[in-house]
């Protein structure tokens, strides 16, 4: 299990540097449009379910060649986008902000096609655990997210609100969702962090096999927002994951990223088709129900691609 917890900025800069090296060694296809490959996430996450659905939609309308890449999460996706391995990437807004407006800029600035669903931050513990608050994680075995995931952005920030660091104050490991679920179920972990749509299928399946709880992060989120206004507070409803009561937690928006050099007519066609087939996204995952033309334009502070702007202006009712 990887136990070195790198700083958030180090992870992103490393990903961008690796992507730049890959791009330097890879020329694009000679002539014609390259396939619209979507960078998603792990097999039990919302990114993957919606990404598979989008690839299917876009393969029919506008009828482009498509593909889907699995990944460790948002940071991994930014790297694939910058390198040219992907042309569209799911990304949490906090990571997107770093990639789009931070000091380490990619060759082509990152822009957005749409705001999609919002993620809820999950800090999952066994139902019988004595851990009741975030501060109780001191000394515990905790997964803080995969190395190139957006989870590894938010977990250290939340821990800092209660005076903890993963490196110093706990037995922290960097695992993706699948390994975190397995580790908690086997008793090898006391808790894990996850950022995903509510409900996330993998967490829901775990809750059906063994009772779990989510830590309430309402107070921590209020403190977090003083330094990071990209986050907000949301409520996980009672009944989700068989929880007896609602739980306050942190939320972060997700966006579909592209590079600024995507042709405007292609970007417009992708957004138009996505909006027209929102029903298919809702069937793919419950988080797809939140994709709506009125909210999809809310990608700030990441700029909308000009082709996306044209699609929203043309879309009926926006």
Owner of token pair 């992103």 = 12
Output the tens digit of pLDDT for each of the chain's 318 residues.
Answer: 555 444 444 444 444 444 444 443 333 333 347 899 999 998 888 899 999 999 999 999 999 999 999 998 998 999 999 899 999 999 999 998 876 434 445 566 899 999 999 999 999 999 999 999 999 999 999 999 998 889 999 999 999 999 999 999 999 999 999 999 999 999 999 999 999 989 998 999 999 999 999 999 999 999 999 999 999 999 999 999 999 999 999 999 999 999 999 999 999 999 999 999 999 999 999 889 999 999 999 998 889 999 999 999 998 655
Residue after which a domain boundary falls, among 229, 252, 275: 252
Q: Is 88 inside a domain boundary?
A: yes
Q: Are 112 and 304 in contact (CB under 8 A)?
A: yes
- The number of folded domains in the chain is 2
Tell me, what CATH number does 224's domain have? 3.40.190.10
Residue after which a domain boundary falls, among 252, 276, 295: 252
Classify burial at 316, counting beta carbons within 10 Å of its beta carbon; exposed 0-12, middle 13-18, buried 19 or more: exposed
Owner of token pair 């043309």 = 314
Please state, in angstroms and as integers, the Cα–Cα distance from residue 136 to each residue in 130, 192, 194, 317, following that order.
Answer: 8, 13, 17, 48
Phi, psi dihedral angles at 16 (to 5 degrees): -65, -40
Q: Do residues 238 and 258 share a domain?
A: no
Global confidence as pTM: 0.81
Whether residue 199 has a cis bond before it, omega within 30° of 0: yes
129 contacts: CB under 8 Å, gap ≥ 6:
190, 191, 213
Structural domain including 185 reads 119-252
Q: Do residues 15 and 92 share a domain?
A: yes
d(C-alpha 270, C-alpha 308), whole Å: 8
d(C-alpha 239, C-alpha 254), whole Å: 24
């Amino acid at each position: 299990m990887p136990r070195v917890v790198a700083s958030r900025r180090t992870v992103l800069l490393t990903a961008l540097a690796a992507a730049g090296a890959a791009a330097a060694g890879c020329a694009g296809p000679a002539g014609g449009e390259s396939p619209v490959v979507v960078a998603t996430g792990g097999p039990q996450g919302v990114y993957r379910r919606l990404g598979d659905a989008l690839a299917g939609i876009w393969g029919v309308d506008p009828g482009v060649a498509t593909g889907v890449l699995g990944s460790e999460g948002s940071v991994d996706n930014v790297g694939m986008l910058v390198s040219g391995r992907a042309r569209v990437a799911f990304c949490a807004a906090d990571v997107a902000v770093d990639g789009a407006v931070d000091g380490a800029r990619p060759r082509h600035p990152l822009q957005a096609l749409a705001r999609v669903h919002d993620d809820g931050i999950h800090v999952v513990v066994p139902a019988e655990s004595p851990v009741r608050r975030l501060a109780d994680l001191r000394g515990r075995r905790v997964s803080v997210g995969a190395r190139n995931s957006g989870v590894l952005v938010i977990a250290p920030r939340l821990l800092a609100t209660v005076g903890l660091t993963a490196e110093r104050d706990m037995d922290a490991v960097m695992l993706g969702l699948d390994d975190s679920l397995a580790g908690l179920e086997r008793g090898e972990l006391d808790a894990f962090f996850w950022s995903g749509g509510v409900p996330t299928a993998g967490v829901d399946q775990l809750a059906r096999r063994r009772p779990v709880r989510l830590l309430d992060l309402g107070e921590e989120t209020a403190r977090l927002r003083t330094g990071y206004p990209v986050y907000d507070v949301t409520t996980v409803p009672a009944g989700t994951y068989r929880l007896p009561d609602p739980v306050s937690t942190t939320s972060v928006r997700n966006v579909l990223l592209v590079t600024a050099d995507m042709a405007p007519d292609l970007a417009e066609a992708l957004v138009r088709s996505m909006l027209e087939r929102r029903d298919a996204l809702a069937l793919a995952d419950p988080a797809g129900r939140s994709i709506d033309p009125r909210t999809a334009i809310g990608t700030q502070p990441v700029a909308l691609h000009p082709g996306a702007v044209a699609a929203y202006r043309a879309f009926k009712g926006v």
